[in-house]
Amino acid sequence: MVAIIETNKLTKYYGKSRGILDVDLTIQEGEIFGFIGPNGAGKSTTIRTLLSLIKKTSGDAKIFGLDCHDHRVEILDQIGYLPSEVFYYDNMKAIDLLKYSASFYKKDCTQKIEDLAQKLELDLNKKIEDMSLGNKKKVGIIQGLLHSPKLIILDEPTSGLDPLIQKKFFDIIQEENKNGATVLFSSHILSEVQKICDRVAIIKEGKIISTQKISDLKDHAYKRVNLVFTNQIVDIEIEGMSDVQVQGNSISFLYKGDCNLLLKKLVQYRLQNIEINEPTLEEIFLHYYI
Amino acid sequence: MNIYLFELKNQWKNTTGWIIIFSVLMFVLCMGVYPIFNNSLQDIVAVISKMPAEFTKAFSFDLNSMVDFGGYYEFIFAYFSLMGAVMASSISLSIFAREKKVKCTDFLLTKPISRQWIFTSKFLSGLTLIAIFNIIYMVLSCIFGIYFGKSLEEMILASSMMFLTQFFYYNLGILVAIFSKKIRSVSNTASVLGFIGFILSALYNILEIKGMRFLAPLKYFDPIQFFTTTSNEYMYMLTGIFLLILFLFVSYAKFNQEDVKAV
């Protein structure tokens, strides 16, 4: 498989403040790659360095095998970018803005604009400054996809969209992906990353702390165990327990380990109820921040 | 061409307004005020002589030279150059601070176009508008100048000083737009730039300290040199030309290298 994005010890300092440190990322062609981390972790810095909006301090960054800075124009011809906050020129209708955006690409984007506007239920003849935040975001989505890019970079794309339009948005992204586009998807909303991404990188304090498949992340042998005791709660200790929460007769905890050992341990207790669930990505994610 | 045409489209109304204002003012001042001024010279001398000398110097009232159209042209040029400076800097501030003002720099800089070409396109669009304005200004200056006895060559050279003044302020506006973190109001910023130049010129006129003229940009390109035998004007012109080129190169370098921070 061809690597669409490759970074090698990519580092960016803002003066003396760290942005990102030694970020190594490889995103394969055709992937939908998630990028998650708390505020200030370095997600936007990584994306903005890839887009040559900011200059790296050291390391390498390549897209389509080309250096991001030296071949910026060639690379950007094949990239669609949707930032977390969308701002456009005053006094412009959506259609005029989109036509202006399309004029930078050497292809006719008229049909694509109309198709996307129809799917997202956007009135193109309205002035952007008169639009709600959600509708401005729709303009941003169309603006990022109108030239059918090979690489789509989304920075928290669904903020401001209602659930119905969010679903349509994800359908559009998945359709683009089926047509060959690679997607880099930065988000706080872990359920979205869980739903749509193939692999995910977790970034914390400027460093990538984990890169793995979504399925592997969930199959970390973590289970959310909820127990309700018949009588008073007993002092329960099992190796592999974490995040223990006690409420009345109930106890809830994350368990990592062999489920057979867990069951052997639990059989000695009188239980009223037991639930063993897949943990949410949020719980796994938070694990990295405890 | 798309950025060039986009900026032209956004600025043409404003520029047309300035052209109309200048045209009307020139007509009124040249065809209306100047003949009255000439016919009522003694009365005007009587009024002006009661004013403090510093006041008349600050506002470029030199009655001895104003009798001749060349001197009168220099007098009105003091005010036209101020207006021209405000106009030119407002054009460059509008064009180069447009994305910064509405926070859509990311939109433009993630398009497949080099920063060099973005800068060049924007620069040429503003320069086109200034060139169009100056052609009309020059034509009107020549018409009025020839009507009042000046030669075509004198008037072409004298009116070309407006283009150089505006080019200076155009590049100064670009510099301010690129180096400023935020431009709250283009018109206010342009007015401030113009009026600082006017105040520096007024101070030079009052104090008459020779070296001070190098600090007064509205005095770099003085049209009087084409109507008299004044020498040494080339030093000030060269200073102005050097500075406007410097502003341009520094702005170009900063624009190409700058990190674009997230909004």
Q: Which of B95, B101, B110 to mutate to test the interface with A (most CBs of A within 10 A)?
A: B110
Do residue B262 and residue A83 have CB atoms under 8 angstroms apart? Answer: yes
Do residue A53 and residue B113 have CB atoms under 8 angstroms apart? Answer: no
pLDDT given for residue A157 in this prediction: 86
SS3 assignment, position A281: helix
Q: Given CA atoms B169, B173, B179, B185 in this order, what sign does their dihedral have?
A: positive
pLDDT given for residue A279 in this prediction: 67
- HSE on the CB side for B32, CA within 13 Å? 7
B112 vs A contacts (CB less than 8 Å)? 73-77, 104-105
- Do A189 and A105 share a structural domain? yes
B98 vs A contacts (CB less than 8 Å)? 89
Q: How far is CA B69 from the centre of its chain?
A: 21
- Do A138 and A49 share a structural domain? yes
Q: At what angle do helices B115-147 and B233-257 cross, to 10 degrees?
A: 150
- Least CB–CB distance from A77: residue in B6, B112, B260: B112
The answer to whether B124 touches B207, Cβ cutoff 8 Å, is no
Residue of A nearest to B103 (CA): A87
Q: At what angle do helices A163-178 and A133-145 cross, to 10 degrees?
A: 0
pLDDT given for residue A85 in this prediction: 86
- Least CB–CB distance from B104: residue in A75, A77, A87: A87
Do residue B110 and residue A44 have CB atoms under 8 angstroms apart? Answer: no
The answer to whether B98 touches B91, Cβ cutoff 8 Å, is no
**Apex CA B81: angle with CA B76 and CA B87, to 5°?**
130
d(CA B114, CA B256): 9
* Domain termination residue (choose one: A162, A193, A218): A218
SS3 assignment, position B10: helix
Q: What residue has token string 């050291």?
A: A58
* Domain termination residue (choose one: A218, A239, A267): A218
The answer to whether B134 touches B144, Cβ cutoff 8 Å, is no
- Do A265 and A124 share a structural domain? no
pLDDT given for residue A210 in this prediction: 86
The nearest CA of chain B is from the CA of A267 a distance in Å of 55
Residues of chain A with pLDDT under 50: 289-290
**CA dist B68 → B17, B34, B50, B72, B80 (Å):** 30, 10, 22, 6, 18
A87 vs B contacts (CB less than 8 Å)? 102-104, 107, 263
Our count of domains for chain A comes to 2
- Least CB–CB distance from B260: residue in A54, A76, A85: A54
Interface predicted TM-score (ipTM) of this complex, two decimals: 0.88
CATH number at residue A59: 3.40.50.300
The contacts of residue B257 (CB under 8 Å, 6+ apart) are A55
A77 vs B contacts (CB less than 8 Å)? 112
B256 vs A contacts (CB less than 8 Å)? none
**CA dist B128 → A75, A143, B131 (Å):** 31, 30, 5
pLDDT digits (tens, 9 = 90+) for B208-228: 887 888 999 999 998 888 877
pLDDT given for residue A219 in this prediction: 58
pLDDT given for residue A147 in this prediction: 96
The contacts of residue B19 (CB under 8 Å, 6+ apart) are B132, B133, B136
Sheet with strand A3-14: strands edge to edge: A17-28, A3-14, A58-63, A66-67
- Do A91 and A61 share a structural domain? yes
d(CA B225, CA B234): 9
pLDDT given for residue A233 in this prediction: 67
pLDDT given for residue A214 in this prediction: 82
Residue of B nearest to A14 (CA): B259
**B143, B149, B152, B155: CA torsion to nearest 10:** -80
- Do A209 and A255 share a structural domain? no
* Domain termination residue (choose one: A218, A242, A267): A218
The parent domain of residue A232 ranges over 221-286
- Do A153 and A272 share a structural domain? no
The answer to whether A253 touches A247, Cβ cutoff 8 Å, is no
- Do A267 and A207 share a structural domain? no
- Do A158 and A279 share a structural domain? no
pLDDT given for residue B245 in this prediction: 97
* pTM listed for this prediction: 0.87
pLDDT digits (tens, 9 = 90+) for A182-236: 999 998 777 778 788 989 998 888 999 889 888 776 655 578 899 998 877 667 7
Average pLDDT per 10 consecutive residues for chain B, totaling 263 residues: 94 95 94 86 77 74 76 90 96 96 94 96 97 97 93 93 97 96 92 94 86 91 79 85 97 94 82
Please name every residue paired with A241 in a beta bridge, in sequence order, or none if there are none: A255
B259 vs A contacts (CB less than 8 Å)? 53-55
The nearest CA of chain B is from the CA of A111 a distance in Å of 20
- Do A265 and A189 share a structural domain? no
- Do A270 and A212 share a structural domain? no
- Do A211 and A161 share a structural domain? yes
Residue of B nearest to A96 (CA): B6
- Do A252 and A109 share a structural domain? no
